[in-house]
């Protein structure tokens, strides 16, 4: 399933708000704000085709801040600032899989505190769902490739029709169209060597009568008129046949496109609704783990604790409304 650009933007805005609220509450916010601001600007200016990767990297930033109240690789690595987000995402995934460096102090991805196991499990769950989305996206790309192949086939048929038209025009056998029902005069007409030569139909038809000069002039006029009428009729017939074929090909193409849009429109709409509900459920679990973690770890004043718990409760209510 392909998540629409509009949905990705909505998810991005919500995540940015969450990260911004988190940063200002962290003890090391003075140290984190410049770097986080720089990365938020990078995400904001991301190209449309990497919106999914942008959201994925923002989620990693959120996860690091939530897990350790700090950030590490790749956000603290200056070489990452100018990397393509898609390449950076792949590089980050590869480093995670190989338990490579995770932050400025050389900690590995596998060395997170035991108290954050629930967070890591949620992050892993979301990563698996993102991979599933990529697989479904590949499947849709395959279907689109098949449709493009059908379109190419239709284009080849059109080119073949055009080629046949040119070959027929140059073949010098226009008169063969009437050969099956013609008289001897028409047979003679259809077998002449030069198709562009003036018709001799009436001259052949009246030759046994021994025409005088006046008759020959009249016969020549008849041949001229007949030649014009015959050629106009043949060209009109060819044009009608060509229009019918083009209309049939266009209709088949339109039907194929319409069926594709209708079928996959419904499939994508259903999957998108299901995905939104799954994300909302994940968010609820995430918020519940965050609330328990906060209650367990926070040792500050009661007013701040109460304010944070209210904020988490409102967030849970918002996710419940989506469900």
> Each residue of 173-194: pLDDT tens digit?
444 443 443 466 666 666 665 5
Q: Which residue has the higher pLDDT, 279 or 168?
A: 279
* Per-residue confidence band for 288, with pLDDT thresholds at 50, 70 and 90: confident
Asked whether residue 241 carries a pLDDT value surpassing 80, the answer given is: yes
Distance of CA 294 to the CA centre of its chain: 42
> What's residue 170's pLDDT?
54
Residue ranges of domains in the chain: 1-112, 158-251
Alpha-carbon distance of 99 to 111, in angstroms, equals 9
99-138 b/e with 16+ CB inside 10 Å = b? eeebbeeeeebeebeeebeebeebbeebeeebeebeebee
Task: Give strand pairing partners of 101.
Answer: 108
Alpha-carbon distance of 271 to 143, in angstroms, equals 16
Asked whether residue 208 carries a pLDDT value surpassing 70, the answer given is: yes
Cα dihedral 86, 89, 94, 97 in deg (nearest 10)? -150
Alpha-carbon distance of 49 to 91, in angstroms, equals 18
* Per-residue confidence band for 13, with pLDDT thresholds at 50, 70 and 90: very high
| 190 contacts: CB under 8 Å, gap ≥ 6 | 173, 175, 176, 178, 179, 182
| 63 contacts: CB under 8 Å, gap ≥ 6 | 119, 123
Asked whether residue 146 carries a pLDDT value surpassing 50, the answer given is: yes
| 47 contacts: CB under 8 Å, gap ≥ 6 | none
Q: Which residue has the higher pLDDT, 111 or 288?
A: 288
Alpha-carbon distance of 115 to 126, in angstroms, equals 19
Q: Which residue has the tokens 């063969």?
A: 176
Asked whether residue 110 carries a pLDDT value surpassing 60, the answer given is: no
- pTM across the whole model: 0.33
- Could you tell me which of 95, 53, 46, 40 has the C-alpha nearest to residue 73? 95
**Count of CB atoms situated within 10 Å of the CB of 219:** 20
* Per-residue confidence band for 103, with pLDDT thresholds at 50, 70 and 90: very low
Task: Give strand pairing partners of 108.
Answer: 101
Alpha-carbon distance of 237 to 243, in angstroms, equals 10
């Amino acid at each position: 399933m392909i998540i629409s650009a509009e949905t990705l933007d909505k998810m991005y805005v919500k995540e940015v708000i969450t990260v911004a609220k988190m940063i200002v509450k962290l003890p090391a916010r003075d140290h984190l704000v410049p770097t986080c601001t720089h990365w938020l600007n990078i995400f904001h200016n991301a190209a449309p085709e990497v919106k999914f990767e942008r959201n994925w990297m923002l989620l990693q930033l959120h996860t690091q801040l939530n897990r350790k109240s700090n950030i590490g690789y790749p956000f603290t690595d200056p070489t990452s600032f100018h990397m393509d987000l898609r390449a950076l995402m792949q590089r980050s995934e590869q480093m995670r899989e190989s338990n490579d460096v995770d932050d400025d102090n050389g900690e590995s991805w596998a060395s997170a505190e035991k108290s954050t196991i629930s967070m890591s499990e949620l992050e892993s769950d979301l990563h698996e769902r993102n991979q599933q989305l990529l697989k479904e996206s590949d499947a849709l790309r395959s279907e689109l490739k098949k449709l493009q192949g059908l379109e190419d086939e239709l284009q080849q048929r059109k080119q073949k029709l055009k080629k046949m038209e040119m070959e027929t025009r140059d073949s010098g056998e226009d008169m063969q169209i009437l050969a099956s029902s013609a008289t001897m005069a028409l047979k003679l007409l259809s077998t002449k060597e030069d198709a562009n030569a003036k018709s001799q139909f009436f001259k052949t038809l009246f030759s046994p009568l021994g025409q005088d000069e006046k008759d020959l002039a009249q016969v020549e006029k008849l041949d001229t008129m007949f030649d014009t009428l015959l050629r106009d009729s043949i060209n009109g017939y060819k044009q009608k046949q060509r229009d019918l074929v083009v209309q049939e090909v266009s209709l088949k193409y339109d039907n194929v496109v319409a069926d594709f849009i209708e079928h996959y429109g419904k499939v994508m709409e259903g999957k998108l609704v299901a995905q939104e509900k799954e994300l909302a459920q994940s968010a609820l679990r995430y918020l519940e783990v965050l609330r328990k973690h906060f209650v367990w770890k926070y040792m500050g004043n009661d007013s701040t604790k109460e304010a944070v718990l209210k904020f988490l409760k409102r967030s849970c209510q918002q996710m419940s409304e989506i469900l």
